[in-house]
Amino acid sequence: MTKKQIEEGTKLLDEFIEDAESVSGLGYHSDWRMLMPVIQKIHNYDYVNDINIAAEYTFIEPTSPDRKYISIDSKHKEPFHPMTTFRAAVQFVEWFNHQKEG
C-alpha cells in the first residue's frame, strides 16, 4: 500500500471506531494494539460470522452466503504482519459504509 492509501485507510478506520485522535497515519497498519479494537468491532456486527487471522492471510466470513467474503493474502515475508489485517479491515469498512448508504 502507498502512504496515501495507508492514510486514507487510517482515516476510514478512525471514523469507524469513532476515534477522533489519529496517530498521523501510523498505527493500525503496523501496531496490533491499535488494530485489534477495530477487528473486535467488526466481529461484533451481526453479519460477520468469523474473522480468521493467520500467518499468511486475513479472512472475514459473513453470516450468510450472499454477503461479501474478504480475504487478503499477505505480501509480507514476516508472518502475522498487521498490514494484511489492516487491508482486510479497510475493505470491510468500505463495504460496510456502502451497505449503510444503499
> Whole-number mean pLDDT of the chain?
82
More confidently predicted of 64 and 40: 40
Q: What's the pTM value of the predicted model, to 2 decimals?
A: 0.83
pLDDT of residue 72: 76
Q: Which is more confident, 47 or 89?
A: 89
Tell me the C-alpha distance between 97 and 93, whole Å: 6
**pLDDT (0 to 100) of residue 78:** 73
**Can you tell me the mean pLDDT for 48-62?**
86
Give the DSSP H or E segment for 53.
Answer: strand 48-53
The answer to whether 59 touches 48, Cβ cutoff 8 Å, is: no
Q: Is pLDDT at 8 greater than 90 in this prediction?
A: yes
Amino acid identity of residue 92, one-letter, is F
**pLDDT band, very low/low/confident/very high, at 18 (cuts 50, 70, 90):** confident
